[in-house]
Amino acid sequence: MRWLLILLVGAVAMAANVKLYLTDGTWHTVREYQVLADRVRYFSVERSDWEEIPLSLVDLKKTQGDLAAREESVRAEKKAEAEEAEAERDVRREVRAVPKEPGLYFVLEQAKFQPLKQAELKVVSNKRRSILAKLAPIPIVSGRSTLEIDGTASGVKLEVERPEFYLRLSEVERFALVRLWPGLNAKIPSRIVEKWEILPIVKEVVRERQEVEIFRKQVGDDLYKVWPMEPLAPGEYAWIQYTEGKENTQVWDFSVTRGK
């Protein structure tokens, strides 16, 4: 009794060529093949025609294993592409949900945010303590000063090691994540954002701050998603928006209460 057709490989459906392995270690590149009773019929890519070969000369196990591995790879690739597309849709939905007002927004969960209040800054020197106003900066006086926030701790407590934020800039400026120093005057609790040395004559400001390495992803004309590269140790931190050479720094402070 002659066998009827027992296998038709779905190479055409995959729209890809198949390696038909032989027992001597070589192979034919085929478009598709059929295993019959005592032979294999295949469409040769090289000669664009149907041909036959004895079944005993074909390594079916290796051929089918190779095809199965390729099919699994295609399925895994399609799954990854689908998951990536879904993730991109989630990001777009989240970005659309970010408030339009300039400011800093902590990501609570997908498309839900906690806005951070902008801190009031003070420039402190040996002789005075002055409020730093964005539109009316204080006169620059030669010597050493510090840019500070009142209080020993922020009112915003975050129990995450790598908090994620959206920063919507009020204008095209630089921004950074910094760790704050404790204030130097025990009688007036504060945290130091920057240490300034104002050079005489030229009135140039040399700034010192503890910058934290960050990832930044621009998701709009004035909107960035930002987060630290490494887990944050417990302590006081702030995001700052600034322009070099100007006293127009804006600051949003927060505490990390759980970390490495």
Predicted confidence (pLDDT) per residue in 207-223, tens digit:
899 999 999 999 988 99
Mark whether 173 and 208 lie in a shared domain: yes
Mark whether 125 and 87 lie in a shared domain: no
Decide which of 93, 124, 143 is a domain's last residue.
93
Mean pLDDT of the chain: 84
Separation between Cα atoms, residue 171 and residue 160, nearest integer Å: 29
Query: What residue type is assigned to position 50 of the chain?
Result: W
pTM greater than the 0.95 cutoff: no
Q: Which domain holds residue 27?
A: 7-93
Q: Residue 195: CB partners within 8 Å, gap ≥ 6?
A: 144, 145, 146, 147, 181, 207, 208, 209
Helix intervals (H) in the chain: 11-14, 60-97
Separation between Cα atoms, residue 233 and residue 259, nearest integer Å: 5
Any domain includes 22: yes
Mark whether 87 and 107 lie in a shared domain: no
Residue that is written with structure tokens 């402190």 in the block: 124
- Vertex 168 angle, CA 162 and 191, to 5°: 55
Mark whether 147 and 54 lie in a shared domain: no
12-21: b (≥16 Cβ within 10 Å) or e: eeeeeebebb
User: pLDDT at position 154, please?
Assistant: 96
Mark whether 106 and 234 lie in a shared domain: yes
Give the number of other Cβ atoms within 10 Å of residue 50's Cβ: 14
249 has a pLDDT exceeding 90: no
Res. 248 pLDDT band, cuts 50 70 90? confident
Mark whether 76 and 127 lie in a shared domain: no
User: pLDDT at position 89, please?
Assistant: 78
Separation between Cα atoms, residue 101 and residue 225, nearest integer Å: 15
Any domain includes 1: no
Res. 127 pLDDT band, cuts 50 70 90? low
What is the tally of structural domains in the chain? 2
2 has a pLDDT exceeding 70: no
Res. 13 pLDDT band, cuts 50 70 90? very low
Decide which of 93, 110, 141 is a domain's last residue.
93
